[in-house]
């Protein structure tokens, strides 16, 4: 097979599905999809489309960090090859013609991996686990809001109108009727997800008006990160087809709770099914060390769980914050802490990291969470005693804003070693540039309260 040949499995898949067009996808720092669209025949002949590696340092506003923040960067903007993953082939079920969407890994022309690719960062962490014969298992939970279409960025978001012709007023946690208001949308969403092979489990109504949660079946972190990226795209497309928006903003509405991406973690040995987080008489030492690592390193890893300015609004403790955690305490069946251990038998012993927002890049959130636990197991970190009862609003052991969080990450040598120094420094540069862009915007609150009063 020549250097530009396409994997035979991809050729066969194209033939089976009569593919005529291909969307070649990579995920940037923010979790957005970038890439190229080309005819299927050209893709099969050419094999490896190219993009500049600068796509990974573009900010959410479309800008780039200042040169002073990129002294470590290669200004040549090297070409990178997009390497199709045969395990990441998906149909585009809403396309008029048979279309494939393929998630790609990235390498330079030399064959070296692109260290700042978020997918590579997760692969890097998983390789560290594999070196020790460990296989992490993750089960994500994705929260999101359905909202009325909004074309004016200065206008607050509102819940959408359902089948009854009325919009949802007030919170209807776990209400079946509130979910049924959007049955046509969710039926089409599930159809689209099934055609793509996305392993969705349950759907529930969450705390906020128009807020829902979809749970994924547990499995391999890389595959699940891929599926979350595909699910976000699918849900947004489905919502548009039904005259509304779906948003994964961490805090889209001021008086409603925020949206999270909860990550349930367990661990097994490669080739075995036994859960390494449990012994015959309860939690194993590995489990406790994993939690100890989360507690030790989560504060520095917060920029991956709260990546945007808006992310911190979800974590700000107020009457509208819902059950969003503000600490890295742990406890059994306790939703007021950052690290919850659900009631389960030994086969399902796990810890739920409740800190990531729904706006987090799934590759980076999983990589960072697994990195914290990995360091804890290596260092045999002892966790603090589990918290019993309610975690008060005053219990804070996490940074409370963007800049302190970025400073803590910049000073964490162990996390930088595990995630990759070039990646972490690139990520810091991107996030500092985004903060600077946000700080240049004068808000409506300032005009309302300061214009004529100061």
Judged against a pLDDT cut of 80, whether residue 394 lies above it is answered with: no
Average confidence (pLDDT) over 204-224? 94
Residue 11's pLDDT band, with cuts at 50, 70 and 90, is very high
Closest CA to 305 of 223, 405, 391, 421: 405
Task: Please give the pLDDT value at position 397.
Answer: 79
Q: What angle is formed at CA 107 by the lines to CA 105 and CA 109, rounded to 5 degrees? A: 145
Give dist(CA 161, CA 185) in Å, integer: 12
pLDDT score of 307: 97
Percent of the chain at pLDDT exceeding 70 = 94
Looking at residue 1, its pLDDT comes to 36
Tens-place pLDDT, residues 237-279: 999 999 999 999 999 998 899 999 999 999 999 999 999 999 9
Q: For residue range 31-76, what is the model confidence (pLDDT) as tens digits?
A: 999 999 999 999 998 768 999 999 999 999 999 888 776 666 666 6
- In the numeric block, which tokens belong to residue 289? 């060390």
* The pLDDT value given to residue 167: 86
Residue with tokens 């966790």: 383
Range with the poorest average pLDDT among 162-171, 190-199, 440-449: 162-171
pLDDT classification of 391: cutoffs 50, 70, 90: low
Query: Is residue 393 over pLDDT 60?
Result: no
**Strands laid side by side in the 50-52 sheet:** 33-39, 21-27, 99-108, 79-91, 50-52
Nearest C-alpha neighbor of 399 from the set 247, 297, 318, 273: 297
Pairing state between β 339-341 and 330-332: parallel
Sign of torsion over alpha carbons 223, 227, 229, 230: positive
- Which residues is 80 bridged to in the sheet? 51, 108
Q: In whole angstroms, what is the distance from residue 345 CA to residue 80 CA?
A: 46
Complete domains list, the chain, with CATH: 8-112 (3.10.20.70), 128-419 (3.30.590.10)
In whole angstroms, give the CA distance from residue 396 to residue 142.
24
Compute the radius of gyration of the chain from its Cα atoms. 22
Output the pLDDT for position 46. 79
Is the predicted pLDDT of residue 317 greater than 80, yes or no?
A: no
* pLDDT on residue 47: 66
pLDDT of residue 319: 52
């Amino acid at each position: 097979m020549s250097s530009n040949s396409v994997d035979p499995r991809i050729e066969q898949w194209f033939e089976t599905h009569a593919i005529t067009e291909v969307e070649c996808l990579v995920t940037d720092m923010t979790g957005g999809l970038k890439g190229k669209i080309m005819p299927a025949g050209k893709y099969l002949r050419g094999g490896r489309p190219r993009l500049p590696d600068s796509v990974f340092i573009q900010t959410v506003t479309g800008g780039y960090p200042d040169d002073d923040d990129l002294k470590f960067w290669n200004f040549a903007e090297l070409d990178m090859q997009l390497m199709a993953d045969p395990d990441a082939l998906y149909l585009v079920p809403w396309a008029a013609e048979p279309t494939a969407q393929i998630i790609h890994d990235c390498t330079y022309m030399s064959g070296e991996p692109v260290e700042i690719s978020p997918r590579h960062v997760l692969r890097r962490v998983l390789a560290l686990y594999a070196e020790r014969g460990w296989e992490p298992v993750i089960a994500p939970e994705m929260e999101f809001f359905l909202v009325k279409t909004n074309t004016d960025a200065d206008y607050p978001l509102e819940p959408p109108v359902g089948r009854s012709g009325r919009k949802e007023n007030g919170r209807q946690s776990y209400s079946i009727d509130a979910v049924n208001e959007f049955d046509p949308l969710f039926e089409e969403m599930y159809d689209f997800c099934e055609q793509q092979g996305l392993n969705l489990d349950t759907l529930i109504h969450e705390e906020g008006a128009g807020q829902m949660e979809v749970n994924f079946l547990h499995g391999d972190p890389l595959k699940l990160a891929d599926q979350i990226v595909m699910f976000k795209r699918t849900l947004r497309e489905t919502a548009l087809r039904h005259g509304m928006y779906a948003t994964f903003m961490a805090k889209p509405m001021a008086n409603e709770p925020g949206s999270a991406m909860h990550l349930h973690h367990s661990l097994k040995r490669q080739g075995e099914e036994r859960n390494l987080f449990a012994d015959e008489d309860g939690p194993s030492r590995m489990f406790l060390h994993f939690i100890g690592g989360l507690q030790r390193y989560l504060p520095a890893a917060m920029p991956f769980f709260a990546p945007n300015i808006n992310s911190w609004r979800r974590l700000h403790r107020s009457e509208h914050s819902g059950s969003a955690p503000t600490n890295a305490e742990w406890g059994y069946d306790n939703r007021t802490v950052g690290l919850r251990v659900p009631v389960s038998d030994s086969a399902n012993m796990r810890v739920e990291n409740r800190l990531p927002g729904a706006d987090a890049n799934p590759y980076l959130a999983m990589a960072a969470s697994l990195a914290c636990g990995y360091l804890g197991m290596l260092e045999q970190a002892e966790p603090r005693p589990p918290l019993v009862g309610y975690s008060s609003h005053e219990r804070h052991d996490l940074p409370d804003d963007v800049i302190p969080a970025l400073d803590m990450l910049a000073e964490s040598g162990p996390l930088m070693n595990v995630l990759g120094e070039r990646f972490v420094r690139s990520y810091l540069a991107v996030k500092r540039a985004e903060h600077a862009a946000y700080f240049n915007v004068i808000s409506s609150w300032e005009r309302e309260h300061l214009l004529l009063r100061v």
